[in-house]
Structure 1
Amino acid sequence: MAMGGALALAGLLALALLAAWALARDPFRLVQLVFAAQRVASGLRRRRCLAAGHRWVYAARAAADPQAPTLVLLHGFTGSKENWYPLARALGRRYHLLIPDLPGWGESERKPEAAYGFVEQAEHVAAFIAALSPARPVVLVGHSMGGGIAALVAARHPQQVAQVALLNAAGVRFRDNAFGLAVLAGENPFAVSDAASLRRYLATVFFDRRARPWIPWPFSAALIARRRRDAAFEQAVLERIGRGPDSLRPGEEAACIRQPVLLVWGRQDAVIDPSALELYAARLPQARQVLLDGCGHMSLMERPREVARALVAWIEDTPAAAG
C-alpha cells in the first residue's frame, strides 16, 4: 500500500513538472486551460476540420432535437470562439451550435501571406458551412467583425444561410466616436501591450462592469504576451476591415440580403456606435431590431440571456429556419 502511494505521488509530481515545463515554454496554455474548462461547462466539444485551405478549430454541441436549426456563431476582431460560451449556455440545447475560431484567430490556422479581411473571411466561412452543413442552410450569427463577415456571406451565398443575425456589427460608416476616429487615423485602439492597455481594452469593449472578465496574474501576463505577438497581425487585419477599400463592403452589400435579419446592439457601445444599427436597418427593411440598454460592445457576453431570448423568439417566428 505504501509503495502504491509512493508511486502515485511520484506520478503526480512528474505530471506537475511536465505541466510546469509546458507552461514555461508557452504561458498562454494557462489561458487555454481556463478556456477548456469553460467549454466543458458549456457542454461543448472541441472539433477540427479543413475548409478553404485552412485548418479550423471549433466548438460544437448537438441540439436535443436532431431537426433543430444549426447556428454558426462568428466572433469579432481580437476575439475567439470562447466569447460565445456565455450565450451557448443561455441557449441550452435548443439548437445545434458550430462556433469556430475564424482563420487567423484563436486556434485556427494563420497563413503568413494570406489576407483576412471581410471579403476573404466571407469565402472562408462559406466553405466552412459547406463542409459542416452541406445539406441544410444555417442561421448565421456574427458579432462585430464577425457581423460584417456574416452580412457578406448572407448576401453572396444565400443558399447557405436561412437567417442572419448581426450583433454590434462592423461594416458601415457609423457616427464618429473615439474608437472609429483612432482606426481611421491608422491606430489600433484594441492594442494590448501591458497591464494598463489590457484594462483600457476591457473598459472599451465592456460597458457593464459586472460582466467584465476578471483576469488575474499570471493569466493576464500570458494574455498580454500573446497580444504583443499578435500586434502586427491585428494591425494588418484592421487595415483591411477598418480603413481599406472593402471596409464598408458589408453595409453596401447588405441591401442584397433577402433572408430574415436580426439586429442586436448595445445602447452604450463605444466601439461600433449604435448609429450603425440604424444604417443597417435602412438597408434591411425586413430586420427585427433589439437595442439593449446598459450594454456595450460585447452584448453576447454582457447580456447573454437577453440576446438568447431575442434569437429564440426571432428564429421561432421564422418557419423556414425551424424546419
Structure 2
Amino acid sequence: MDSRRVISFLTGGLITAAFLLAIWYGNRDYASRRRLAAAHESDPGLLKKHSTFESYKTRSGYTYPRIRTFYKRHDKATELPNALPLLVFMHGLGGSAAQFAPLMTSLINIASCLAIDLPGCGLSEFEPGNPGAYTTQSLAELLYAAITRFRDAENGQNVICIGHSMGCSINALLASSTSQLSQLLEGTVVGVIAICPRGALPTPKEATLARRFTMMPTFLFDLLRQFDRRGGLSSASVTRVVGSGADDETRKMQLKYNEQSESGPFLRIMGAGLGPDGLPGKAIWSGIKVPLFLVAGDADGITPALEAENIAFWLKHEHEAEQDDSDNATAPAVPAIAGDTSAAQKQITISKSNADPPRTQSGSVIKDDYTSTKHASTLKTTIFPEPAAHGLLYSSSTVRILSGMIENFLSQHVDEHLSASWQMNALTKSGKWDVKNLKKWQSVDPCSAPIGGVFRAMKTMREVDDSHSPKEFVKRFSHKVIPDGVAAVIDISHETPVYHPQGLVEAGIDYHKFPTVSKEKPKAEEVDEFIKLVDSIREAPNYHSSSAPPTLRPTIGVHCHYGFNRTGFFIVCYLVERESYRLQDAIDAFAEKRPPRGIKHEHFLNELYVRYAVNIERRATITE
C-alpha cells in the first residue's frame, strides 16, 4: 500500500471516528436534556415550590455550577424559643432528592429541611467533567458546601443527617470522628438517620463487576439498562430496587426514577467509589458518636439488612472494634440483636413500653431494637419485613410508618424540640400557634352536611377556639353523637395542625395526616393514595360500629385550611372513581354542601375536567 493510500485510509478513519464521536456527544446531550425535562415534569410540588439552582465551590477546588437545592425553612422557626436543627437529606447512587418527598411532607413540619441533587442526578447539571469531582469524599464536600450556605451558623444551628443507600456513606464522612472530613462539621452533627446503608467495602467480585461496567462506553451501558427495563413495572430493573412484593404505585415511582437516572454520572460516581476515596467502611462507621438510627428492609437485594446489622455490631462491641480497626474486617453475622443491652452504659435512658411491637400494613412484625453504642450514644436498628426493599423510603406500605419512627427517634433521643407536640405547646403559650387568617377562618362554616353519604368537608380546627376545637367538634359532629357523624378525620393540610389530634383519637375519631401542598393541583398519585386511604377507613371497624341504618352511616371529615379547594378536589375524585358520580354531579354535590360555591380555584376545576370529563365512562367501568 503506497503512502497516499495510507494517508487516505487514516484520514477516512479519523473522519469516521470524529463523526461517531459527534453522534455520541449529541446523543449524550439529548439524553441529558430528556432526563432533565422528565425530572422537571414529575418533580413533587413541595420540591418545585422550594428549590433553587445554586453554584458551589468546594474546599478541594471543584465548582459545581448548577445544583438543584431544596431548602424549606420551618414555618415557625423564628417564633420558637430554641433554634431547631437542620434536617439534611442525601440521596443515593442513581437517585434524587425527589425520593425523599414522601418523608419530607411530614418532617418539614418539625424542622427546616435541606436536600440537593448530586451532579447529573435529578435536576442538577452533569458538571464538572473532572472524575475527581465524583469521589465519595468530593460529594461529601459538596454537601458540606450546601449545608454551610443554608445552615444558620450565627444561631448555632445543629445538623441531622438523613441518607439513603450511598447517601448514608456521604453523610458518614461528615458525621464520623474518624473521617478525614470530621473537622468540617465537628460538634454540629447531632444525629444520623441511615436508610438502607452500606457498611462493608465492595467484595472482590463486586469490585470486578463494577469496573467492567465503568469501562463500558456510556451508550453501551445505556443499551444494557434499556434491556434491563424490559417489562416496565415488572422489569428486573424495577424489581431489583423495590422487591418482588411491591405494589404498582411504588413500581411506577421506581420506573420513573430509573428512566430519569443518567448513565454518565451513574458510571462516574460508581467508578469513583472503587478508588482510595471510595465508600467508607468499618473504621468510619465506628467513629459515629451521635444518636444513630439504622433502617433496612428484609427483601433488599442491593444493601441487605445484614449491612445495617453489621454496622450496629461494630458500634455495640468495643472490644472487637479495638482488636481490628481495618476497614476490610467483616463483622460476624448478628443472629438476633433485639433486646441486646450488653454494651456500655447508656447516657440516655430509654423507656420501652409493653405495647405490641410495630407492624406493617400487612401485619408483619417490624424488628425494632434499641441499645447503645460503644460511645454510649443511642443506637436504634429497625428491619422492615418483606416485602420492604431498597425503596422503602417511598414505598406506600412503609413510608408513613418510617416517618413516624424518625419523628419519634429525633424527639426522644436527639432534641425534644423536634416533637410536634412540644412545638404546639410552645406556640400555644406564646400565642403564635394559630391559623393564617383568623378573621377569614372564623367566617367559614366549621363542618358541612354529609356529601355523597361518605364525607363531610371541614375547616381546620383550632386548639384554642371556643367553638371549633377538637373538644367542641366531638360534641357536635362525632359519630357517637349523631348517626352520620364523623368517624375519622383526614387532615390534608401541609402544615402541622394547630390543634392536638389526640383530642379526636381519645374521643373515638381516627386521625390521618395526608399532607398536600396548598394551591398545587393534586397529582394523580396523590389522588390514588387518598382513595386507598378512604377505602381502608371505610373497611375499618370504627366505620361500621354504628347501629344506625345503612342510609345513615358514619362519615369521614376532610380538611385542608378552609375546606374548599384541595378538600373539594379529593372528595370529587373519590365520588367519581368509587361512587360512580358523573363529574359535574360530584362538583355540584360538593358545592351544594360547601357554600358559597364549593371549589373556588379555576385551575382545580380545569384539572378535574381534564382527568375525568373525556374518559368518565371508561373510568367508571373500571371502578365497578
Q: Paired residue for 1:167?
A: 195
For residues 103 and 289 of structure 1, the distance between their equivalents in structure 2, rounded to whole angstroms, comes to 31
Question: For residues 30 and 57 of structure 1, do their structure 2 counterparts lie closer, same or farther at Cα, with a shift above 3 Å needed?
Answer: closer
- Give the structure 2 partner of residue 111 of structure 1: 128
Q: Tell me which amino acid in the other structure corresponds to 1:291.
A: I
Of residues 94, 97, 119, the one that matches 1:81 is 97
Shift, 1:30, TM fit = 5.0
Where do 1:28-47 residues align within 5 Å? 28=35, 30-36=37-43, 38-40=44-46, 44-47=49-52
1:237 aligns with 2:269: yes
Q: Conserved in 2, the CA contact under 8 Å of 1:174 and 1:272? A: no
Match in the other structure for 1:48? 53
Task: Select 2:252's aligned residue among 214, 227, 232.
Answer: 214
Task: Report the Cα distance in structure 2 between the residues aligned to 1:251 and 1:79, rounded to whole angstroms.
Answer: 24
Identical amino acids, percent of aligned pairs? 19
Q: Tell whether the 8 Å contact from 1:175 to 1:273 is kept in structure 2 after alignment.
A: no
- Tell me how far 1:90 sits from its aligned partner: 3.7
| 1:201 aligned counterpart, secondary structure | helix
Greater mean alpha carbon deviation, residues 121-130 or residues 75-84: 121-130
The structure showing larger relative contact order (alpha-carbon pairs under 8 Å, at least 6 residues apart) is: 1
Distance 1:249 1:139 in 2: 19
Cα distance 1:197–1:160, how it changes in 2: closer, same or farther (>3 A)? farther
Mapped contact 2:242–2:251 kept (Cα < 8 A): no
**Aligned mates of 2:32, 2:167 — CA distance in 1:** 32
CA contact (8 A) 1:125 1:153 kept: no
Equivalent residue of 1:317, what SS?
A: helix
Query: Residue in 2 aligned with 1:4?
Result: none
Range with bigger deviation, 289-298 or 246-255: 246-255
Q: Please, what TM-score do these two structures have when normalized by structure 1?
A: 0.77
SS of match in other structure, 1:49 = strand
Q: Is the 8 A contact 1:43 1:61 kept in 2?
A: no
Question: Structure 2 matches for 1:155-234, cutoff 5 A?
Answer: 155=176, 156=182, 157-173=185-201, 180=206, 183=209, 186-187=212-213, 192-194=225-227, 195-196=229-230, 199-207=235-243, 208-210=245-247, 211-214=249-252, 224=259, 227=261, 230-234=262-266
Paired position in structure 2 for 1:63: 74
Q: Which residue of 1 aligns with 2:169?
A: 148
Q: Is the 8 A contact 1:64 1:94 kept in 2?
A: no
SS at match of 1:205: helix
Would the aligned equivalents of 1:63 and 1:96 in 2 still touch at CA under 8 Å? yes
Query: Does 2:411 align with 1:316?
Result: yes
Classify the secondary structure of the residue corresponding to 2:299: coil
The answer on whether the counterparts of 1:290 and 1:310 sit within 8 Å (CA) in structure 2 is no
Secondary structure, aligned partner of 1:299: coil
Cα distance, 1:296 vs. partner? 0.1
- In the alignment, what sits opposite 2:313? 282
After superposing the two structures, state which structure 1 stretch, 99-108 or 269-278, moved more.
99-108
More helix by share: 1
Q: Which runs of 5+ in 2 are unaligned?
A: 1-29, 78-82, 177-181, 215-220, 316-372, 419-624
Letter in 1 for 2:150: L
- The size of the alignment, in residue pairs, is 290
Distance, in Å, in 2 between the alignment partners of 1:197 and 1:240 is: 31
2:317 is the counterpart of 1:299: no
Correspondence 1:265 to 2:296: yes
Contact 1:126 1:160 in 2 (8 A): no
Q: Secondary structure at the match of 1:127?
A: helix
Alpha-carbon deviation of 1:140?
Answer: 0.7
- Structure 2 distance, partners of 1:185, 1:24, is 23
CA contact (8 A) 1:145 1:171 kept: no
Given that residues 261 and 288 in structure 1 are in contact (C-alpha distance below 8 angstroms), is that contact kept between their aligned partners in structure 2? yes
1:253 to partner: Cα distance: 1.0
Give structure 1 stretches of 5+ with no counterpart.
Answer: 1-22
Structure 2 distance, partners of 1:140, 1:236, is 24
SS in 1 for 2:52: strand
Shift of 1:266: 0.8
Cα deviation, residue 197, structure 1: 8.0
**CA distance, structure 2, for counterparts of residue 43 and residue 94 of structure 1:** 20
Deviation at 1:43, TM superposition (A): 8.1
Aligned residue type for 1:73: F
SS at match of 2:250: coil
Change (3 A) 1:165 1:183: farther
Closer, same or farther in 2 for the Cα pair 1:43/1:313, shift >3 Å? farther
Q: Could you say what the CA RMSD is over the residues aligned between the two structures, in angstroms?
A: 3.4
More divergent stretch after superposition (100-109 vs 294-303)? 100-109
Change (3 A) 1:181 1:292: farther
Describe how 1:94-105 pairs up with structure 2 within 5 A. Answer: 94-105=110-121
Q: Is the 8 A contact 2:210 2:270 kept in 1?
A: no
Distance of aligned partners of 1:122 and 1:321 in 2 relative to their CA distance in 1, 3 Å threshold: farther
Question: How far apart, in 2, do the equivalents of 1:174 and 1:197 lie?
Answer: 30
Task: Please give the TM-score of this superposition, normalised by the length of structure 2.
Answer: 0.42
Greater C-alpha radius of gyration: 2
Query: Aligned partners of 1:204, 1:185: CA distance in 2, in Å?
Result: 20
With over 3 angstroms needed to count, the CA separation of the structure-2 counterparts of 1:171 and 1:60, relative to structure 1, is same
Distance 1:87 1:246 in 2: 30
**Aligned partners of 1:250, 1:25: CA distance in 2, in Å?**
33
**Partner SS, residue 140 of structure 1:** strand
Q: Whole-Å Cα distance in 1 between the matches of residues 104 and 32 of structure 2?
A: 32
CA gap 1:183/1:146 in 2 versus in 1, 3 angstroms? farther
Change in Cα spacing, 1:301 to 1:283, as seen in structure 2 (3 Å) is same
1:186 maps to a residue whose letter is: R
1-structure distance, mates of 2:167, 2:136:
8
Aligned to 1:8: none
CA deviation after TM superposition for structure 1 residue 160, in Å: 3.3
Q: Decide which moves more: 295-304 or 195-204.
A: 195-204
Determine if contact 1:31/1:223 at 8 Å carries over to the other structure. no
- TM superposition shift of 1:143: 0.5
SS at structure 1 position matched to 2:394: helix
Shift, 1:288, TM fit: 1.0
CA deviations on 1:168-199 (whole Å, 9 max, x unpaired) are: 112424899x9x58845734799622441863
| Counterpart position of 1:127 | 145
Residues 59-113 of structure 1: per-residue CA shift (max 9 Å, x gap)? 2223243143321100010001111111112435222111211234222242111
Q: Which moves more between the two structures, 299-308 or 264-273?
A: 299-308
Report which stretch shifted further, 288-297 or 67-76.
Answer: 67-76
One-letter amino acid matched to 2:394: M
